[in-house]
């Protein structure tokens, strides 16, 4: 593709997983002259006014962001269902306005009306499935997509073979780069990174809050809480931190979210991760060789997060802690068990690296460019 062409090629990106999307954007930018547009969720949760990590990340990259309001089919109320035609009409309007050459979807219910509208306008679309099974939105999107990229070999059987490509899950290059030395502790204690994904996890935050001083007696914690207005976890934990002795305060780094300029340093300092089991988290852990205690969200479609977690657990690289068993006491016990066998876990997670494809973003970018040409 000619990088010196006069006008950049417009590409519209949508879906619920912005991390692999950013990796693909970077790979495309190295290969051609493109102008990106984003359709997504501006706010973290429905009814709240806290801007989503997705919006903040895309805005920081200077990509025009369009909010789309639509409903979803899976476990929906009638109020959600009546939003579906409105979401389709809004998507149709945005596509006519932007006129992209291709639509790139990263799954999620919001992407479905965008891809459907693209099909009606004869704009080609591709989609990427992050999980080991499939999302219902991607199952629908696959009917209209020109290419379906999957992260795991087990996902191949869920989509038409003639247009499905095993690529792996793209990982942002920033997770490998150490840019912020402030995450290095000098006390010699192990560093544990606690994360609930981009929105945070209230139940994990509560488990930490219930015995914060006990955690900090043995470990340094880097804790990503999310920014939920409803639960106010960051605010509650900040107050609790300020009540601790100075020695323990110095072992606790607390933030709502760690951006692209920080996440690589967080991972570099970390010996073990406590978190949910989203596909992106599991891929990053495997790619970086980090042992983990994974607490899958129990209510997601098709036990998706549990199956993601099993990828590492079956290889001895992670412990799966069911949410119904989660408590401060149990989490402390699991931490002690893993660290007492940390060398075995580190060896196992090193083997898990073989499950990832470092060139996933480049491979997807090449497929997209091939379609454009």
Assess if residue 228 is contained within a domain. yes
- For the chain, the average pLDDT equals 92
Residues 346 and 207 in one domain: yes
Assess if residue 4 is contained within a domain. no
Residues 207 and 167 in one domain: no
Assess if residue 120 is contained within a domain. yes
pLDDT above 80 for 261: yes
Give yes or no for a contact between 163 and 148, defined as CB atoms under 8 angstroms apart: yes
Assess if residue 368 is contained within a domain. yes
User: Shortest CA distance to 187 belongs to which of 250, 264, 241?
Assistant: 250
Residues 188 and 51 in one domain: no
At residue 372, the pLDDT reads 96
At residue 107, the pLDDT reads 85
Which position has the higher pLDDT, 1 or 294? 294
Residues 276 and 197 in one domain: yes
Number of domains making up the chain: 2
Assess if residue 1 is contained within a domain. no
CA distance 320 to 302: 17
Residues 155 and 265 in one domain: no
Residues 76 and 28 in one domain: yes
Residues 189 and 157 in one domain: no
Residue 226 assigned ligand-binding role? no
Q: What is the domain extent for residue 361?
A: 9-171+357-372
Give the DSSP per-residue string, 248-267: HHTTEEEES---TTTHHHHH
At residue 199, the pLDDT reads 84
Residue 87 assigned ligand-binding role? no
Residue 251 assigned ligand-binding role? no
- In the chain, pLDDT over 90 holds for what percent of residues? 77
320-332 confidence digits (pLDDT tens): 999 999 999 999 9
Give yes or no for a contact between 205 and 290, defined as CB atoms under 8 angstroms apart: no
Residues 316 and 270 in one domain: yes
Average pLDDT over residues 338-362: 94
pLDDT above 80 for 214: yes
136-179 confidence digits (pLDDT tens): 889 999 999 999 999 999 899 999 999 999 999 999 999 999 98
Q: CA-CA-CA-CA torsion for 103, 108, 114, 117, nearest 10 degrees?
A: 110
Kindly report the pTM of this predicted structure: 0.89
Residues 160 and 38 in one domain: yes
Residue 188 assigned ligand-binding role? no
Assess if residue 264 is contained within a domain. yes
142-160: b (≥16 Cβ within 10 Å) or e: bebbebbbbbbeebeebbe
Residues 155 and 297 in one domain: no
Residues 106 and 50 in one domain: yes
Assess if residue 338 is contained within a domain. yes
Assess if residue 3 is contained within a domain. no
pLDDT band of residue 238 (cuts 50, 70, 90) is very high
CA distance 356 to 352: 8
Domain containing residue 228: CATH number:
3.40.50.2000
Residue 197 assigned ligand-binding role? no
70-123 confidence digits (pLDDT tens): 877 655 565 666 778 899 999 999 999 999 999 999 988 899 999 999 999 999
Residues 153 and 181 in one domain: no
């Amino acid at each position: 593709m000619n990088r010196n062409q006069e006008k950049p090629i417009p590409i519209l990106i949508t879906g619920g997983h912005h991390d692999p999307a950013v990796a693909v954007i970077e790979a495309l930018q190295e290969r051609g002259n493109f102008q990106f547009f984003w359709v997504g969720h501006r706010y973290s949760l429905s009814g709240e006014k806290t801007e989503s990590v997705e919006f903040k990340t895309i805005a920081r990259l200077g990509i025009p962001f369009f909010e789309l309001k639509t409903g979803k089919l899976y476990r929906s109320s009638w109020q959600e269902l009546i939003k579906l035609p409105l979401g389709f009409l809004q998507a149709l309007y945005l596509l006519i306005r932007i006129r992209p050459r291709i639509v790139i979807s990263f799954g999620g219910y919001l992407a479905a009306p965008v891809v459907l509208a693209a099909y009606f306008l004869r704009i080609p679309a591709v989609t990427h499935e992050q999980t080991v099974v499939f999302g219902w939105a991607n199952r629908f999107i696959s009917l209209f997509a020109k290419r379906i990229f999957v992260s795991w070999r087990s996902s191949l059987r869920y989509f038409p073979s003639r247009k499905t490509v095993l690529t792996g899950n793209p990982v942002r290059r920033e997770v490998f780069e150490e840019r912020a030395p402030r995450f290095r502790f000098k006390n010699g204690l192990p560093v544990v990174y606690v994360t609930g994904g981009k929105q945070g996890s209230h139940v994990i935050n509560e488990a930490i809050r219930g015995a914060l001083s006990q955690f900090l007696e043995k470990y340094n914690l880097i804790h990503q809480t999310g920014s939920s207005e409803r639960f106010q976890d960051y605010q509650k934990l900040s107050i609790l931190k300020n009540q601790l002795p100075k020695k323990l305060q110095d072992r606790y780094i607390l933030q709502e979210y760690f951006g692209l300029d920080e996440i690589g340093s967080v991972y570099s300092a970390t010996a073990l991760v406590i978190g949910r089991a989203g596909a992106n988290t599991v891929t990053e852990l495997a790619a970086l060789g980090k042992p983990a205690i994974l607490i899958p969200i129990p209510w997601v479609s098709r036990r998706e997060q549990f199956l993601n977690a099993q990828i590492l657990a079956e290889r001895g690289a992670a412990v799966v802690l069911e949410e119904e068993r989660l408590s401060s006491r149990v989490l402390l016990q699991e931490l002690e068990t893993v660290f007492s066998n940390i060398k075995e876990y580190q060896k196992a997670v090193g083997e898990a690296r073989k499950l990832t494809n470092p060139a996933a973003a480049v491979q997807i970018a090449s497929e997209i460019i091939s379609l454009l040409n």
